[in-house]
Amino acid sequence: MKIKINDGHYSELMDRLHVQTCIIDEHLVNHPLTKKIKKVKKHIDDAIMSLAEAYHVVGNESLTKQKKK
């Protein structure tokens, strides 16, 4: 079954990306071992940056779609 994309999917995905970023921040970034093991911190920081970039990509796609209407 193919799902038809609607305007709500954009804000929904952006919300889910934001929620995941908050979870990583709260539970991983602030974990004592993350602060101690620099290599772990870098990987976690990279994950947050990737989620932030994905958030912006979805936001830009949504804006582009809205401008076409």
pLDDT digit string, tens, across residues 46-65? 999 999 999 999 999 999 98
Q: Report the alpha-carbon distance of residue 59 to residue 18 in Å, rounded.
A: 12
Helix pair angle (38-68, 7-24), 10° resolution = 160
Overall size of the chain counted in residues: 69
40 Cβ neighbours under 8 A, 6+ residues apart? 33, 34
Q: What is the pLDDT of residue 23?
A: 97
pLDDT tens for 13-57 read 999 999 999 999 999 999 999 999 999 999 999 999 999 999 999
Residue 69 pLDDT level (bands cut at 50, 70, 90): confident
The reported pTM is 0.87
Domain boundaries, the chain: 24-68
